[in-house]
Amino acid sequence: MYQLFCDSNCELWYTTVAELGLNVIRMPYTVGDKEYFYDMGEKTDFKAFFDQMRAGAVPKTSALNEYAYTEYFEPVLARGEDIYYVTFSHKMSATFNAMDAAIARLKEKYPERKIMTKDAKTISLGSGFVSYYAALKKKEGATMEELDAYLDELIPHTATYFAVDDLTYLHRGGRISGATKIVGGLLNIKPILHFDEEGKIVSISKARGFRNALTKLLEYVEQKGSELDKYKMFVLQADCEALAEGFADTLRERFDADVTVQPVGPVIGAHCGPGTIGLIFHCSER
């Protein structure tokens, strides 16, 4: 028997996590001098968080240490169960160095147990998309090896796109230059980013105004969407719910898709900023 883990950077809603029987590794963020661990939306005040950002607060995120991973994993191993962990992109954080160290020590202590990890090569509900279908596969009775093979097929077909409203936060995180931020702000340029095959976030397009950015997202679904009748679509919104709901209605009408709208959590929100829209769907290729 094995336990399936994800982390809070997958941003699946807390009720979905409970229904799927997923174990969640909670990632930290700090606002002011107080540290929090994202609770998958259960008690998070999203409005207050993004209001603080709009007012100038600079939330910070950090990696977990080896001890924290051990605290999550060891009780499972000690009771005789194995572990399969779907992670967010390893290109996005140094936290996985601590994870690898913890796993190496635990394998020495529990040599009869198996610990497998899978890099979803994306983040937010892109990673949530992979974790969601991993959990369904496990419920069908898949072994760890069968699940691993299934995810090897699914991950290259998981598309994660973001349209960003305010370039301030990308600049702060080192994603764009100061000059790009200034020019983009003056010209009302909205960058569109996605995760490539290696799990790196890259800018792939720009649009003049946010409505045009959303039109480009629709074009990506038309160009790359596949098996949309079989897989859910997710729309993420960072304090722009009405805009996201309207966008989701367009997706439902145009593609006859099952679309779920969710807020961006504080860890991801600290980097993309308020006003961001994200789109996750099954694609022919990333």
Q: Which amino acid is present at 262?
A: Q
When the candidates are 1.10.760.10, 3.40.50.150, 3.20.20.70, 3.30.1180.10, the CATH number that belongs to 157-282 is 3.30.1180.10
Positive or negative torsion for Cα 90, 158, 49, 16: negative
Instruction: Supply the pLDDT for residue 152.
Output: 98
Query: Which residue stretches of the chain have pLDDT < 50?
Result: 175-187
Instruction: Copy the structure tokens of residue 92.
Output: 């996005």
Domains in the chain: boundaries:
2-28+64-155, 157-282
Task: Please give the pLDDT value at position 188.
Answer: 61
Cβ neighbours of 149 (radius 10 Å) = 12
Q: Given this model, what pLDDT does residue 206 score?
A: 86
Cα angle for residues 144, 145, 147 (degrees, 5° grid):
65
**Order of strands across the sheet that contains 233-237:** 201-208, 189-195, 158-163, 277-282, 233-237, 259-263
The Cα 253–Cα 251 span in angstroms is: 5
Question: Strand 201-208 and strand 189-195: pairing?
Answer: antiparallel
- Point out which residues pair with 170 in neighbouring strands: none
Query: For residue 137, what pLDDT is reported?
Result: 98
- Whose CA is closest to 12, among 105, 173, 125? 125
**Who's near 124: CB < 8 A, 6+ residues apart?**
9, 10, 11, 88, 160, 236, 264, 265, 268, 278, 280
What would the pLDDT profile of 183-222 be if each residue is shown by its tens digit?
334 346 788 889 999 999 888 888 988 899 999 999 999 9
The highest-level CATH class for domain 2-28+64-155 is: alpha beta
* Alpha carbons 129 and 154: distance in angstroms, whole number: 10
Which pLDDT does position 209 carry in this prediction? 86
Reported pTM: 0.93
Length of the chain: 286
pLDDT of res. 133: 98
